[in-house]
Structure 1
Amino acid sequence: IQSLRPPRSLRSALPLRRMGPGFPLLASLLLLTPGAAAYGFRNCIQSMENPESFRCIQRFLRDITSAVGDLPPNAMYVNVSHNSIHRLPAASFRHLPQLQQLQLVYNRLETIEDWAFENLGALDMLNLSNNRLASLSEGAFRGLGNLTSLFLSNNPLSTIHPRALQPLDHLRILDLYSCRLASFAAVARSLQGLTRLQELNLCGNRLWSLNSSCPLPLSLSTLHLCNNSLRAVDGGGPQLLGHIRSLNLSYNKISNVTSFASAELRSLSYLLLKGNPLDVFHLLNVSSLPPRSLDYSGLHLGEEGVSKVCQRLGSRPLKRLMLQSNNIRELRNASFSLCPPIQTLDLSWNKLRWLACVDKWQPGALERLVVEHNLLNRLGTCEHAASLEALHFISFRYNRILSVKYWAFGYAPNLRILHLNINTIAYLHKHALKGLRYLTELRLDNNLLTDLYEPSFADLLRLRTLNLRNNRVSILFPYVFGHLSQLQTLDLGGNNIRHLTNMSFSGLSSLSKLYLDRNRIKEISSDIFHPVQATLEVLDLMANTLQYITKIQHKSPPFRHLHKLYDLKLQAQQPYGMKIIPARFFQGLAALRFLRLSGNKLLSISPDAFDDLAQLHYLDLADSCNGMQDLPPGIFKNLRRLQKLNLENVGLHSLTLEVFGNLSNLTSLLLAKNQLQTVNVSVANALGLLRYLDLRKCPLSCTCENLWFQNWLANRWVQVVYLYNYSCDSRQQLGYVYSFDTHVCFLDVGLYLFSVTAPALLLLMLLPLTYHRAYWRLRYHLYILRSWVNDRWRRQDGEHFQYDAFVSYNSADEEWVLGQLVPSLESSQGSVRLCLHHRDFELGKSIVDNIVDSIYNSRKTICVISRSYLQSEWCSLEIQLASYRLFEELKDVLVMVLLEAIPDRELSAYHRMRKVMLKKTYISWPLEPAAQRLFWIKLRKALKGSYTEEEEEEKLSSSSNGYKPLLDWSN
């Protein structure tokens, strides 16, 4: 990443440090991708116009690290105002060495620790106004050697350490307005060493004296001491104010005029004493103050005082005479007869109710006349007044003027700028503005005008700006502006205009800006703008009553002739918005670059509505959510030059390539307050130049469907506004989009499915084969297991046998068993209890359970072996279960009887039987009657256990190969 060398504005943002405990997951995703450059800030927004500027406003922050901790080192302008930060710890901004301006206005700062501004050698302006700073420590501003402006107004500041400001070598402006400083001496002491300080504002404090042993810096030229409790200007020595050029002492309690006698005031070029109870004329007599340096506002001069002032001013031309707030109720022509030629005369904030023609006040000298905030109720006729040729500016704002009479400004034929706004003018005579042929700017806004007539503006041939905003004009008569061929800006906003015709703007051949917002215009057509079609560049129709309820236009497009229009405002039509944008509505606007349609609660937009706007750079559709939901496909197909698109709160549920695919030059996309949960990844890839993305308050889901979001960010230089504050959709889960666990998204689902299904498939394939090949083998092992369990259980209970022997035989040998074996063993001589399956098996019990119980309830098991026996599965099971006790428990429990001679080659095929016969001796049934008697004797002995286990082992060991019969009658 470091080798890519991104732009300086973003280079330091790549590491994305100080992001908190939830940050590592997203950071790893971004950094694992070569060239990763996506970035975002927790609580700040980077300006698109100025990449070095960051706004961290109204984020409810309580510590400075959460605000600036993740900002890049190249940040120059940072605004962290309107938060709840209480303290600035040391080195709070160490990682921002290029910072030039820092604003911390409207926080709750109480403490600035030493070296809080360490490493801010480039900082030029620091604003700490409107906080809770009560004192400044010695090291509070260390590290700010290049600071030129420091603002500390509106803090409860009462104490400044004498050396707190000494590190500020380059400080030029210090604002301590509205603090709680009570000692001027302490302030002056803290200013020692500030050799470049030029302006100091101490207004609104608690200063009561200028007594100080420390002089003010010689560089200080402007000093504001207004709104304090000063009673005199002495105490600091005659040279305390000797180098001050502008001094504001207004609204104090200075009444001792003699205190000015000892003060050196010859260097003053401006002194304001407004609101002090003193005699200004006595002041001029006892002080060294030049009379022309004094602002005479607020000195209670009255009508007579004006003449006295003029006598003091001499005969040289005077640039400005300020007579504000002097309780002047009436002025006569003689009032200024003794005054020198005055260029600017300001009579604001008096109580003038009537003003005569001013032609005799200052003939030939007056250039600017300001009579604002008075009680003027009318302007009379001055048709025959002498001309004040130099007068080019008049302002009568903030009065109560109700009517303007015929030739009201006949004394100012060369007037350029006339301000009559913010009055109550209801009657403007048709010829009130007669003779003002050089007027370029006329402001009549915020009055009560209802009708405008053609003669009213007939003489204003050079007028360029006409402001009629916020009146009560309802009708524009034909040719009312017919003579204003030079007019460039016409503001008719905030009136009651309902209808416009093709004659409403006739004569405005140079009009470039037309403001018709906040009227009641219901319909517009191309004919209305025909007179201005060649020159109009800005058209404002915001907050009118335009409404369309069908996509089909019955008239031609209203803007089709406005080929030079580049800014069109149609937002917030009343009362419910435009509803529908008809097809080809913007046809003809080939040069349009800015289109604002926000707040219109659109239900539908025609897919070809923007087809003619090939030059559009900015489109605003914010706050248009009224059921429109998704935009129609192809709506932006011709907007290839669009750079900024605002779609906040328009009800979008998805972003599709059909809608956004052609916006290849889009740099800023605002999608806040929509219903977006996921976004098509192809849309993200199509926006190759995107640099600013806002998805705030969208219910983004923390699912694998949004994995594209992180991967897409990892390959683009995109600022995602408050990236680390996007929470998951609460209906699904809590958490943040950037930190949800994405490991499951990287699982190979196919591999896991194969791992699960392959064994299952193999098992299904093997089960039939196993059933066919090894069914009985499996059953044997199962039964053996059950036998072992039963034997263990019986072993715990002790051995108590119900039978002496269980007879295992095949049904083919049943005749021998019932005819020979049973009678011989169960006779009175033998007294052997035999268990026979056809006689002793329990009814209703499974065969296997009966076999197992019979074997373990019998002391011995007699296996009657024949060829039929060897071929029987049930007999094989019985001998298998019986042999378990033989092999595992080493008990002599098995007695084998061979009914017929079976060769070894035949017996080898039955490996289980052969294994038993290798371990156990057997008895063969003889065919000779004489030998049969001995057979029964041996069998009874075998059942009674005559042979011990040691004898059995000796007999087996004596057999070198194969098996050894216990009684073989063949020999």
Structure 2
Amino acid sequence: MDLLKILQLTLGLLSVPDHTDQSPVPSGNGQRCEEILPNIYISCKMRNLSSIPADIPSFIEILDFSFNHLEYLDDNVFPHLPHLFSLDLTRCHIRFIGSNSFEKMKNLTTLILTGNPIEQYESEAFSSLQRLQRLVVVDTNLSSLENLPLIPLTHLQELNAGTNNIEFFQIPPYVFNFTNFRLLDLHCNKIAFIAVSDTIALRETPNKNLTLILSRNQISHIEPGAFQGIHLKELHLRTAFVLSGAIKSCLKAMAGLTVDKLIIGNYRGANKIQTSEVDFLDGLCLFEFQEIYLLLKESTARGGDIFQCLTNASKISVVSSHLKQVKVPQFRRLKELQLKKNDFSYIPAAELSYQSTIETLKITDNKPQTYFYKPFIEMTALKYLEISRSHLSIQECCSKQFSYLPQLKYLNLSFNSELRLEGTAFTGLEQLETLDLQHTKVTQIGVLSSLSNLRNLKYLDICYTNTDFFVEHALSGLISLKVLRVSGNVFRGNTSTYLFRVLQNLEELDISNCGLGHLHPSTFTGLDKLKHLTVTNNKIREVEFLTHPSLGALKTIHIGTNNIITIPQHTLDRLPKNLTALDLSQNPIECTCAYAGFIKWTIENKAKLTDQNRILCQGPVDSRNTKVTEFDVNYCRHMSTIIITLTLGVVLLIFFLTLFVYKYQFYIRYACILLRGYRSTKMGECAYDAFVIYSSRDELWVMDELVENLENGVPPLQLCLHVRDFEVGKSITSNIIDEGILNSRKAIVVISQYFIESAWCKFEFEMAQSWLFLEGNLGIIVIILEDVEDDKMNRVLGLHKYVKNNTYLKWKKNPLSSMRFWTRLRKAVMSGKNTA
């Protein structure tokens, strides 16, 4: 297993075979080891162990035993680990490595011995490691590579012997016979002299893929011819020379060297070399190299004339060299030039013009304010141009500066000061495919169609360019655009609703941090190819726009850091079907049962949600900062059941109460009247001799017979009739009680078929009964006007029983019976007694 496999395992991209349980491995001495990757990777780092635990599983592939105590290694130290391919023994205080120490791990490909004070390697120490590819002996007190028993390591690819005490560049010749050997790292040693005899094996090897690192040494002298005929893939010489004079002489002594990639200069923090010699890099003229990286950090008298010996390079990078100007020769095959962290006061366009081979030019991280006085001319092969982070200011941009670059496809002017665009700002750049202006103040984009001629532009980044979009056609002409980033700008009025409709090939749109409170769905009309949408850091509350038919191709949606409380179910149901990633992080989501549908959706679609740890509830208080996907939706189900049950119970209760009130409305009214309290009839004289309870349909008999005989008789009696004596404007119930029952000495009840059918008659009779029961001074006189069946009589509460138990009068039309009827009735009313 190689390093790529380790990374894949770490990221969970490969499955792990199942062998045994995955509990921490007992160490037997000191603290327990930890299983990092199940059945694969065990760490015993810093466990204060003095031996390898014998119970480490034999199937593990990676063992980190660093920062423990193993002074002596022999064939009894390690258990049988036939599958182990990586062993880290960093700083284990190892002093001695005996023969066959690694006999029980013959498949080892990486061995790290960093930081051990090794005093002796026996000749057969590495005899079992015939598959070893990487050996790290950094900081092991090594004084010579010849002290390492490397002969058995025929598959060795990398040897890192940095930070040791090696004084001579003496490499065992057999090392260069290793077929796959490709890296020799001797950084930070004490090499001061390199002789011709030291490099014989290096010169004779057919291996052309070797990287040699001599950085941070103290080289003061190289014997001329020492590198003659040597071919290296890479040579690192950063802070490798003890004095500036040594740089000049040593580079010249390395004449005849061929190297694909040369890195020369100082590390950050290293002492800057002060030199007044104008030719201290002239030795480079004697080299052959493809790529060169100059990280000089020196103050040189030569200034910008550092390219004299670089004319044959295909790639040049000059970093932190304090260049204020450059003198550029005619390069023969230069493809890429990078000028980074220098001191230009203006862009050296004139100096670089007419370079017909350069395809990539980067002028970045310039320190002072930079201006653009002259255009680039006749750079016919230039396709990639970056002038970023240089405090650049251009007053009339950008046709004059770049119109002579017909092949330019990539232009990066980001992180500068200000660009003032002219009318059609990029005339002559019709082939441009990528334009990056982010974090540079740019005028006119939001007002004029300054980009209309860029019909082949596929990528446009104008984030944080201080742009106010006033007009709807500001992006017209960009018919090929696939990626648009406009975050950190402003859309006036409803400009955003119409601005993007011309971009029908757009696949990615970023309008984050634009202060948007609302996005109308028609904003995305015609964007049928849009796959990625970012609207984070705005003030959006509703996401109805995501359901627009034109957004059917969306795969990723970023709407984090807005004001979204919830998403309605009808919107969730209409989200794009191709959606694979949705960012809802840092929204004030309300985790209440009212929004249970949305929360349930987030749980069911958890695989689509990105940055789930920041999708948190912000309300109510008891749920604040809880993950939305961990909210208990079952609680809402139980609450819904309880609420439905209670609601149904209340509805039924109200229904039955209504039914009860309707059925017993008169009794309830009477009860209310009784609760208010009434005076007893004994407390005063009654206004009426009798209150007549009868049906309105019997009113003819009452008026013609009853009233005529009683009120017009001798002595006359005063009757209370509801049709005549009830007070107008007063409720019927109150009239019955106040005028009828309480103000009358007797009650005359006229029984007929109509009486039985009348609700008011029933109420009046029942009230008369109850008053008789409470007060005992209201006599009830029953007149049977016509025969009524017993079952009908029972419909009136207490009537049948009252008639059965009390004497009543029965009306008959014949004169004899009529005379007797009136005599008895008058007597009953006057006496207050029920007589037959």
**TM-score of the superposition, structure 1-length normalised?**
0.60
Matches within 5 A, 1:138-537: 140=35, 144=39, 147=40, 150=41, 152=43, 158=49, 162-163=53-54, 165-168=56-59, 171=61, 174=63, 179-183=66-70, 192-210=79-97, 214-216=101-103, 217-234=105-122, 239=127, 246-254=134-142, 263=149, 265=151, 267=153, 271-277=159-165, 280=168, 296-302=186-192, 305-307=193-195, 310=198, 313=201, 316=204, 322-328=213-219, 330-331=220-221, 335-344=223-232, 345-350=235-240, 351-353=242-244, 355-356=247-248, 360-367=252-259, 368-373=261-266, 375-376=272-273, 380-381=278-279, 388=286, 390-397=288-295, 399-402=297-300, 404=302, 408-428=306-326, 430=327, 433-454=328-349, 456-458=351-353, 460-471=355-366, 472=368, 474-479=370-375, 481-499=376-394, 500-525=397-422, 527-534=424-431, 536-537=432-433
Match of 1:558 among 450, 459, 467: 450
The aligned amino acid for 2:253 is W
The aligned amino acid for 1:371 is I
1:665-695 Cα offsets, whole Å, 9 max, x none, are 1121111111123446358516333232222
Gaps of 5+ in 1: 1-54, 56-75, 80-95, 103-112, 119-132, 791-805, 821-844, 856-860, 928-934, 945-964
Measured at CA, do residues 846 and 158 of structure 1 come closer, stay the same or move farther in structure 2, by a change above 3 Å? same
Local SS of the residue matching 1:356: helix
Give the Cα–Cα distance (whole angstroms) in 2 for the partners of residues 612 and 135 of structure 1: 65
The aligned amino acid for 1:514 is L
Q: Which has the higher strand share?
A: 2
The aligned amino acid for 1:100 is S
Give the Cα–Cα distance (whole angstroms) in 2 for the partners of residues 668 and 748 of structure 1: 39
1:598-636 Cα offsets, whole Å, 9 max, x none, are 2335555443221221111111112222xx311355222
Higher relative contact order (CA 8 A, sep 6+): 1
Local SS of the residue matching 1:336: coil
* Deviation for aligned residue 1:462: 1.2
The residue number in structure 1 matching 2:509 is 619
Measured at CA, do residues 266 and 158 of structure 1 come closer, stay the same or move farther in structure 2, by a change above 3 Å? same
How many residue pairs end up in the alignment?
Answer: 729
The aligned amino acid for 2:413 is L
The residue number in structure 2 matching 1:136 is 33
Measured at CA, do residues 744 and 163 of structure 1 come closer, stay the same or move farther in structure 2, by a change above 3 Å? same
The aligned amino acid for 1:492 is I
Q: Would the aligned equivalents of 1:620 and 1:645 in 2 still touch at CA under 8 Å?
A: yes
Matched, 1:645 2:533: yes
1:788-815 Cα offsets, whole Å, 9 max, x none, are x99xxxxxxxxxxxxxxx9979997699
Matches within 5 A, 1:805-884: none
Give the Cα–Cα distance (whole angstroms) in 2 for the partners of residues 684 and 612 of structure 1: 29
Give the Cα–Cα distance (whole angstroms) in 1 for the partners of residues 402 and 585 of structure 2: 44
Q: Would the aligned equivalents of 1:660 and 1:683 in 2 still touch at CA under 8 Å?
A: no
Q: CA RMSD in A?
A: 6.0
Give the Cα–Cα distance (whole angstroms) in 2 for the partners of residues 501 and 656 of structure 1: 40
Give the Cα–Cα distance (whole angstroms) in 2 for the partners of residues 864 and 611 of structure 1: 91
Gaps of 5+ in 2: 1-6, 25-29, 679-687, 693-706, 718-733, 811-815, 817-823
Local SS of the residue matching 1:635: helix
Measured at CA, do residues 717 and 502 of structure 1 come closer, stay the same or move farther in structure 2, by a change above 3 Å? same
Give the Cα–Cα distance (whole angstroms) in 1 for the partners of residues 379 and 781 of structure 2: 138
Percent of matched pairs sharing the same residue: 17
The residue number in structure 1 matching 2:442 is 546
Local SS of the residue matching 1:504: helix
Q: Would the aligned equivalents of 2:510 and 2:535 in 1 still touch at CA under 8 Å?
A: yes
* Deviation for aligned residue 1:206: 4.0
Local SS of the residue matching 1:461: coil
Local SS of the residue matching 1:438: coil
* Deviation for aligned residue 1:492: 0.5
Give the Cα–Cα distance (whole angstroms) in 2 for the partners of residues 223 and 236 of structure 1: 16
* Deviation for aligned residue 1:166: 3.3
Matched, 1:599 2:514: no
Q: Would the aligned equivalents of 1:584 and 1:611 in 2 still touch at CA under 8 Å?
A: no
Give the Cα–Cα distance (whole angstroms) in 2 for the partners of residues 167 and 174 of structure 1: 11
Q: Would the aligned equivalents of 2:350 and 2:377 in 1 still touch at CA under 8 Å?
A: no
Give the Cα–Cα distance (whole angstroms) in 1 for the partners of residues 177 and 781 of structure 2: 151
The residue number in structure 2 matching 1:100 is 15
Q: Would the aligned equivalents of 1:117 and 1:141 in 2 still touch at CA under 8 Å?
A: no
Local SS of the residue matching 2:194: helix
Q: Would the aligned equivalents of 1:114 and 1:142 in 2 still touch at CA under 8 Å?
A: no
Measured at CA, do residues 309 and 400 of structure 1 come closer, stay the same or move farther in structure 2, by a change above 3 Å? farther
1:469-491 Cα offsets, whole Å, 9 max, x none, are 11146222333x31321122111
Q: Would the aligned equivalents of 2:122 and 2:149 in 1 still touch at CA under 8 Å?
A: yes
* Deviation for aligned residue 1:151: 7.8
The residue number in structure 2 matching 1:568 is 460
**TM-score of the superposition, structure 2-length normalised?**
0.69
Q: Would the aligned equivalents of 2:316 and 2:336 in 1 still touch at CA under 8 Å?
A: yes
1:39-85 Cα offsets, whole Å, 9 max, x none, are xxxxxxxxxxxxxxxx9xxxxxxxxxxxxxxxxxxxx9785xxxxxx
Local SS of the residue matching 2:351: helix
Q: Would the aligned equivalents of 2:226 and 2:254 in 1 still touch at CA under 8 Å?
A: no
* Deviation for aligned residue 1:542: 0.6
Q: Would the aligned equivalents of 1:195 and 1:218 in 2 still touch at CA under 8 Å?
A: yes
Local SS of the residue matching 1:100: coil
The aligned amino acid for 1:397 is L
The residue number in structure 1 matching 2:21 is 115
Give the Cα–Cα distance (whole angstroms) in 2 for the partners of residues 522 and 425 of structure 1: 24
Local SS of the residue matching 1:662: helix
Q: Would the aligned equivalents of 2:189 and 2:217 in 1 still touch at CA under 8 Å?
A: yes
Local SS of the residue matching 1:634: helix
1:483-519 Cα offsets, whole Å, 9 max, x none, are 3211221110001221134221143222221111011
Q: Would the aligned equivalents of 2:324 and 2:343 in 1 still touch at CA under 8 Å?
A: yes
Q: Would the aligned equivalents of 2:304 and 2:324 in 1 still touch at CA under 8 Å?
A: no
1:423-461 Cα offsets, whole Å, 9 max, x none, are 322232x3xx31421111222112222234455324632
1:314-342 Cα offsets, whole Å, 9 max, x none, are 863685654332223x55xx633345532
Measured at CA, do residues 914 and 784 of structure 1 come closer, stay the same or move farther in structure 2, by a change above 3 Å? farther
Give the Cα–Cα distance (whole angstroms) in 2 for the partners of residues 275 and 780 of structure 1: 104
The aligned amino acid for 1:614 is Q
Matches within 5 A, 1:865-904: none
The residue number in structure 2 matching 1:44 is none
Give the Cα–Cα distance (whole angstroms) in 2 for the partners of residues 297 and 876 of structure 1: 117
Matched, 1:610 2:500: yes
1:112-161 Cα offsets, whole Å, 9 max, x none, are x982389xxxxxxxxxxxxxx95327xx58963xx4xx485976574775
Measured at CA, do residues 522 and 762 of structure 1 come closer, stay the same or move farther in structure 2, by a change above 3 Å? same
Measured at CA, do residues 359 and 384 of structure 1 come closer, stay the same or move farther in structure 2, by a change above 3 Å? same
The residue number in structure 2 matching 1:30 is none
The aligned amino acid for 2:106 is L
Matches within 5 A, 1:751-762: none
The aligned amino acid for 2:578 is L
